[in-house]
Amino acid sequence: MVPSNSLAMIWRIAVNQYIALLRSSKMIVLGVVLVFIQIQIITPIIQCSELMQMKVSVFEPFIAMGNSSVLLLILPLLFLVLMADFPPKGGNHLLYQFRCKKRTWLWGQLLYLMQICGSIILFFLLVTIALLGKQGKFLLNFSEAITHYVVTFPERYGDYINQLFPENLYLQLTLQEAVIHTILFLILYFILLGLILLLMSLINKKNIGIIIDCFVVILGVFSCAGGSTIKWMFPMAHAIPWLHFEAYFSEQIFPMWGSYVYFFVIILVLCTVCFSVVKKYEVGRGTVYD
């Protein structure tokens, strides 16, 4: 067990870094992403609602965001902008590294990473609900405005709204399942990216960590667009719930539990390596080998 004084230090490290990020000018990028969400997600859903003359579920914009390949390129890149200096090493953050044990400091970084990942997802969930406005209604199932759109307007089969809500999504998952899987997959995806940054920083290769994350994101986008089975090598495919299913048959192309195993195994390996490497980590110098 971790001593109580160490737990207090872990919490203090995570909270102080969290508050510092909230006060940072980097938070402005969230406003930029909101523009993309308004254009790519909210506007098409509102147009669909108006055409169908029905309200949509307040949760559907968030589900669409978490299942859009366009937004799943932008959101990880936003995360990398916010976390580019992770773990922070200047100012008061440097003092914590001198004052506490290396493992305690590392636990603080892991807690901070989880706080940020959870907060980002919660922020976008609340924002998508707010942006939907009066067209939204508290429904715990996919709205008929979405599920009956093609039936009502067969000539509009190619509309963008059908890309946001493919049959693989609303025919294979309930709305509650879609929300839960979307939240968990996105959090696990961001934690994985953050751990790569943390590990590379510990071995004094932070810039390489950013490059690796960018390659993971971009290759994930291209592999998902290509539709080949190679996409399951990258976390993006595992983070998109509807990719796991056939369109009309109740068959899974890749099991949902398999994606959770994929994330947990990689995250566990990265955490294990981080705790191994931090033993030789020296403040201000990175990892030093004899």
Asked whether 82 and 26 are in contact (CB, 8 A), the reply is yes
Asked whether 52 and 144 are in contact (CB, 8 A), the reply is yes
pLDDT of residue 1: 47
Instruction: Give CA separation, 32 vs 78, 100, 119, in Å.
Output: 9, 37, 17
CA atoms within 13 A on the CB side of 105: 23
pLDDT per residue as tens digits for the range 97-132: 656 788 888 999 999 999 999 999 999 999 999 999
* Residue 175 CB partners (closer than 8 Å, separation 6+): 57, 59, 60, 63, 139, 140, 141, 142
145, two tokens: 């405005």
DSSP the chain: ---HHHHHHHHHHHHHHHHHHHTSGGGHHHHHHHHHHIIIIIHHHHHHHHHHT--EETTHHHHHHHT-TTHHHHHHHHHHHHTTTPSP-STHHHHHHHHS-HHHHHHHHHHHHHHHHHHHHHHHHHHHHHHHGGGEE--SS--HHHHTHHHH-GGGTTSTHHHHS-HHHHTTS-HHHHHHHHHHHHHHHHHHHHHHHHHHHHTT-HHHHHHHHHHHHHHHHHHHHHT-GGGGGSHHHHH-GGGGB-SSSS-BSS-HHHHHHHHHHHHHHHHHHHHHHGGGEETTTEE---
* Residue 50 CB partners (closer than 8 Å, separation 6+): 135
Residue where the block lists tokens 């025919």: 171
As a whole number of Å, the end-to-end CA separation of the chain is: 30
pTM, entire model: 0.91
pLDDT of residue 126: 95
Residue where the block lists tokens 């998109």: 240
Q: How many residues does the chain have?
A: 290
pLDDT of residue 249: 67
Residue where the block lists tokens 């290396």: 102
Instruction: Give CA separation, 102 vs 96, 159, 248, 258, in Å.
Output: 10, 54, 52, 33
pLDDT beneath 50: ranges in the chain? 1, 4, 286-290
